[in-house]
Amino acid sequence: MKNIIKTIICLTPLTCIFLFSCRDSRNSIFTSHPVFQVDYGKPTADKPQLKLWYAGKYWWALIPASTGPSLWQRTEEGWKEHTDVTKSLAGVQGRADVWAEDEKVMAVAVKDIKNTNHSISVFQLRMKIELSGIRWEPNILTELFPPSPDETIETATITRDSKGNWWTSAVAGTNVYIWNSSSEGMNWTDPILLARGVDLDDICVVTPLPNDEIGVIWSDQVRDAVLMRTHKDGNLPDHGNLKRSLTWEIKQPMITLTLHFHQTAHYG
């Protein structure tokens, strides 16, 4: 029987990233060993925890560190931290979601929820190919805030629509909001309210949809449902162009767990 090796990278409560391997055979063998260690306590306590993307023939990882986001590259010798990027992003909130396109990455980041996070940091990474290798230039763009300073944010996600506009969504307090930028992330609209009265522990995700639309999906533990609203790309980002499109009741508790722990959505 042909053996197949499967690998998974994940953050563990021991503040290490482990590489798990499973060999598919009659007698499966499971092994694990640390890939690299981070100086961030309880890295799986909140979301997002780790973001991976592929660019320049390498895998990249953006993970939280004690100073802010840290950038790592998967090389032939193993994972290597780009300490210059980590230093440049020192002080920026560390738990980030990314949208990667070729040589450019847009990211939104939040703090540990226990630190009472009230804003979303927006920053950009641009890849430069030099004789010495690949270098990334970070650029901190702005900070996004919900309407009330009392609304705390656990996690935020980002996407880009078919017209090139950026969208960031988050549950702040008990409300679901979305922000829009048509200026490469430099300037953003005020937060647009999509829903109110959800639980403090609920989260949401913004994702591209077929037919030139984007959608925001969020859990609602108060109403025991998962809700979604859509927006047509190119329309002005106001309340009149945002419509409720799908509503369904949660039948299986596992659906709630899946949506709670995996915030990257793929539609279609």
In a domain? residue 85: yes
Report pLDDT for 46. 64
Q: Give the model confidence (pLDDT) of 75-124 as tens digits.
A: 888 889 999 999 999 988 888 999 999 889 999 998 765 556 789 999 99
Q: Is the residue at 11 inside a domain? A: no
Cβ pair 18, 94 in contact under 8 A: no
Tell me whether residue 16 is in a domain. Answer: no
Domain that holds residue 73: 41-261
pLDDT for position 4: 37
Higher pLDDT, residue 48 or 156: 156
Q: Based on the structure, what is the number of domains in the chain?
A: 1
Report the CATH number at residue 141.
Answer: 2.115.10
Does 12 map to a domain? no
Q: What is the pTM of this model?
A: 0.76
List the single range of 6-10, 116-120, 122-126, 160-164 with lowest mean pLDDT. 6-10
Report yes or no on 254 lying in a domain. Answer: yes
Long-range CB contacts (within 8 A, 24+) of 150-154:
151/118, 151/175, 152/113, 152/116, 152/117, 152/118, 152/200, 153/110, 153/113, 153/117, 153/118, 153/119, 153/120, 154/46, 154/47, 154/110, 154/113, 154/117, 154/201, 154/203
- Tell whether the model's pLDDT for residue 238 goes beyond 60: no
pLDDT number for residue 60: 94
Of 174, 166, 164, nearest to 221 by C-alpha is 174
